[in-house]
Structure 1
Amino acid sequence: MIKRISIFLHIVFFSLCFPYTFSAAENTTPSGIPIEELEQFVDEYAEEYIGSTVAGAAIIAIKDNQIVLSKGYGYADVENQIPMNPDTTVLEWGSITKLFVWVSAMQLAEQGELDLEEDIRTYLPEEFLTKLNYDDPITILNLMHHNAGFEEYIFDLLFESPEQLVDLEESLKLAEPEQVYKPGEVVAYSNYSTSLAAYIIEEITGQPFYDYVNEHIFDELEMNHSTMHLPVEDNQEITRHKGIGYFPGENGDFMESQSFYISMYPSGGINGTAADLAKFAQALMPSEPEKTSLFQEDQTLQKLLTTSYAPEEGVPGLAHGFWEYDGEYRGLTHSGNTVAYSSNMQIVPEDNFAIVILTNQADEIDLLFGLTDELVGRGDQTVRENLPPAAEVEGSYLSARRTFNGFMNLYAYLAPLDVKPMDDNEIELDLAGFKATYVQTSPYVYKLKSGDDVFIPSNVMYFHVNDGMSEQISTAYADYLPMDKNTPSLLISLGLFIWCMVYFLISPFVLMVLAFFRRRRKRKKAPIAKWNWLLMLSGTLLAVNIAVLIIRMLSNPMRTYSELLPHFIGNYLFTATSIIAVVMMILVRKKAPLSKMQKTGYLLTGFSSILFIIWLIIWQMYA
Structure 2
Amino acid sequence: MTRRTGVFLYIILLALCFPHSFSAAENTTPSGIPIDDLEEFVDDYVEEYIGDTVAGASIIAIKDNQIVLSKGYGYADVENQIPMDPEATVLEWGSITKLFVWVSAMQLAEQGKLDLKEDIRTYLPEGFLAKLNYDDPITILNLMHHNAGFEDNIFDLLFDSPEHLVSLEEVLKTAEPEQVFKPGEVVAYSNYSTSLAAYIIEEITGQPFYEYVEEHIFEELEMNHSTMHLPMEDNQEMEFQKGKGYFPGENGGFIESQPFYISMYPSGGINGTATDLAKFAQALMLPDSENTSLFLENETLSELLTTSYAPEEGVPGLAHGFWEYDGEYRGLTHSGNTVAYSSNMQIVPEDNFAIIILTNQADEIDLLFGLTDKLVGRGDQTVQENLPLTSEIEGSYLSARRTYNGFMNLYAYLAPLHVKPINNNEIELNLAGFKATYTQTNPYVYKLKSGDDVFIPSNVMYFHENDGEIMQISTTYADYLPMDKNKPFLYISLGVFIWCVVYFLINPFILFVQAILQKRRKKKILMVTKWNWILTLSGTALAVNIVVLIIRMLNKPMRIYSDLLPHFIGNYVFSVTSFISVVVIIVLWRKNQLSKGRKIGYLLTCVSSILFIACLIIWQMYS
Which residue of structure 2 lines up, in the alignment, with residue 60 of structure 1?
60
2:335 match: secondary structure:
strand
Q: Cα gap change, 1:486/1:126 in structure 2, threshold over 3 Å: closer, same or farther?
A: same
Residues 152 and 403, structure 1, Cα contact 8 Å, conserved in 2:
yes
Distance 2:604 2:312 in 1: 55
2:381 match: secondary structure:
coil
Question: What's the TM-score, normalizing by structure 2?
Answer: 0.96
For residue 580 of structure 1, report the CA deviation from its aligned partner.
1.5
Distance 1:212 1:305 in 2: 22
For residue 515 of structure 1, report the CA deviation from its aligned partner.
1.6
Alignment of 1:10-89 (within 5 A): 25-89=25-89
1:335 match: secondary structure:
strand
2:221 match: secondary structure:
coil
Report the residue type matching 2:346 in the other structure.
Q
For the aligned residues, what is the CA RMSD? 1.4
1:429 match: secondary structure:
strand
Which residue of structure 1 lines up, in the alignment, with residue 553 of structure 2?
553
1:524 and 2:520 matched: no
2:424 match: secondary structure:
coil
1:182 and 2:182 matched: yes
For residue 274 of structure 1, report the CA deviation from its aligned partner.
0.3
Which residue of structure 2 lines up, in the alignment, with residue 490 of structure 1?
490
Residues 149 and 184, structure 2, Cα contact 8 Å, conserved in 1:
yes
Distance 2:288 2:411 in 1: 50
Distance 1:217 1:43 in 2: 32
Which residue of structure 2 lines up, in the alignment, with residue 565 of structure 1?
565
Report the residue type matching 1:268 in the other structure.
G
Which residue of structure 2 lines up, in the alignment, with residue 544 of structure 1?
544
Distance 2:26 2:200 in 1: 42
1:327 and 2:354 matched: no
Residues 45-71 of structure 1, C-alpha deviation per residue, up to 9 Å, x if partnerless? 100000111100000000000000000
Residues 57 and 73, structure 1, Cα contact 8 Å, conserved in 2:
yes
Distance 1:324 1:570 in 2: 46
Distance 2:435 2:285 in 1: 35
Residues 425 and 439, structure 2, Cα contact 8 Å, conserved in 1:
yes
Distance 2:214 2:197 in 1: 17
1:219 match: secondary structure:
helix
Distance 1:41 1:287 in 2: 27
Report the residue type matching 2:554 in the other structure.
L
Residues 527 and 591, structure 1, Cα contact 8 Å, conserved in 2:
no
Residues 149 and 181, structure 2, Cα contact 8 Å, conserved in 1:
yes
1:37 match: secondary structure:
helix
Residues 247 and 361, structure 2, Cα contact 8 Å, conserved in 1:
yes
Report the residue type matching 1:317 in the other structure.
G
For residue 26 of structure 1, report the CA deviation from its aligned partner.
4.0
Residues 369 and 457, structure 2, Cα contact 8 Å, conserved in 1:
yes
Alignment of 1:68-467 (within 5 A): 68-467=68-467
Report the residue type matching 1:444 in the other structure.
Y
Q: Cα gap change, 1:69/1:568 in structure 2, threshold over 3 Å: closer, same or farther?
A: same
Alignment of 1:459-478 (within 5 A): 459-478=459-478
Distance 1:184 1:585 in 2: 53
Residues 23 and 32, structure 2, Cα contact 8 Å, conserved in 1:
no
For residue 24 of structure 1, report the CA deviation from its aligned partner.
6.5
Distance 2:367 2:516 in 1: 62
Distance 2:75 2:522 in 1: 71
Distance 2:525 2:210 in 1: 70
For residue 318 of structure 1, report the CA deviation from its aligned partner.
0.1
524-533 vs 113-122, greater mean Cα deviation:
524-533
Distance 2:595 2:138 in 1: 65
For residue 448 of structure 1, report the CA deviation from its aligned partner.
0.3
Which residue of structure 2 lines up, in the alignment, with residue 618 of structure 1?
618
Report the residue type matching 2:565 in the other structure.
L
Residues 24 and 351, structure 2, Cα contact 8 Å, conserved in 1:
no
2:152 match: secondary structure:
coil
Residues 424-463 of structure 1, C-alpha deviation per residue, up to 9 Å, x if partnerless? 1100000000000000000000000000000000000000
Distance 1:454 1:204 in 2: 39
2:226 match: secondary structure:
coil
494-503 vs 510-519, greater mean Cα deviation:
510-519
Report the residue type matching 1:151 in the other structure.
E
2:396 match: secondary structure:
strand
Distance 1:54 1:595 in 2: 65
Which residue of structure 2 lines up, in the alignment, with residue 577 of structure 1?
577
Segments of 5+ residues of structure 1 without an aligned counterpart are: 1-6, 15-20
2:498 match: secondary structure:
helix
Distance 1:620 1:584 in 2: 26
Report the residue type matching 1:457 in the other structure.
P
For residue 522 of structure 1, report the CA deviation from its aligned partner.
2.7
For residue 180 of structure 1, report the CA deviation from its aligned partner.
0.3
Distance 1:592 1:354 in 2: 80
For residue 22 of structure 1, report the CA deviation from its aligned partner.
8.0
1:558 match: secondary structure:
coil
For residue 526 of structure 1, report the CA deviation from its aligned partner.
2.5
Distance 2:307 2:23 in 1: 30
Residues 221 and 293, structure 1, Cα contact 8 Å, conserved in 2:
yes
For residue 468 of structure 1, report the CA deviation from its aligned partner.
1.0
For residue 514 of structure 1, report the CA deviation from its aligned partner.
1.6
Distance 1:214 1:477 in 2: 27
Residues 242-284 of structure 1, C-alpha deviation per residue, up to 9 Å, x if partnerless? 0000000100110010011000000000000000000000000
For residue 517 of structure 1, report the CA deviation from its aligned partner.
2.0
2:156 match: secondary structure:
coil
Distance 1:499 1:254 in 2: 38
Which residue of structure 1 lines up, in the alignment, with residue 15 of structure 2?
none
Residues 58-92 of structure 1, C-alpha deviation per residue, up to 9 Å, x if partnerless? 00000000000000000000000000000000000
Distance 2:528 2:555 in 1: 41
Distance 1:150 1:50 in 2: 38
Distance 2:589 2:389 in 1: 62
Which residue of structure 1 lines up, in the alignment, with residue 18 of structure 2?
none
Report the residue type matching 1:264 in the other structure.
M
Which residue of structure 2 lines up, in the alignment, with residue 4 of structure 1?
none
Which residue of structure 2 lines up, in the alignment, with residue 17 of structure 1?
none
Distance 1:37 1:26 in 2: 12
Residues 133 and 179, structure 1, Cα contact 8 Å, conserved in 2:
yes
Runs of 4 or more, structure 1, over 3 Å off, are 21-26
For residue 581 of structure 1, report the CA deviation from its aligned partner.
1.0
Distance 1:380 1:282 in 2: 27
Residues 61 and 68, structure 2, Cα contact 8 Å, conserved in 1:
yes
For residue 25 of structure 1, report the CA deviation from its aligned partner.
3.8
For residue 163 of structure 1, report the CA deviation from its aligned partner.
1.3
For residue 527 of structure 1, report the CA deviation from its aligned partner.
2.1
Distance 2:532 2:601 in 1: 9
For residue 290 of structure 1, report the CA deviation from its aligned partner.
1.3
583-592 vs 73-82, greater mean Cα deviation:
583-592
Distance 1:618 1:70 in 2: 53
2:484 match: secondary structure:
coil
Distance 2:23 2:41 in 1: 20
For residue 287 of structure 1, report the CA deviation from its aligned partner.
2.3
For residue 519 of structure 1, report the CA deviation from its aligned partner.
2.1
For residue 366 of structure 1, report the CA deviation from its aligned partner.
0.3
For residue 210 of structure 1, report the CA deviation from its aligned partner.
0.3
Distance 1:332 1:135 in 2: 32
Residues 415 and 431, structure 1, Cα contact 8 Å, conserved in 2:
yes
Report the residue type matching 2:142 in the other structure.
N
Residue identity (%): 81
Question: What's the TM-score, normalizing by structure 1?
Answer: 0.96
Residues 377-431 of structure 1, C-alpha deviation per residue, up to 9 Å, x if partnerless? 0001111100000011111000000101000000000000000111111000000
Report the residue type matching 1:395 in the other structure.
G
Residues 544-581 of structure 1, C-alpha deviation per residue, up to 9 Å, x if partnerless? 00000000100111101100000000011111111111
Residues 306 and 320, structure 1, Cα contact 8 Å, conserved in 2:
yes
1:220 match: secondary structure:
helix
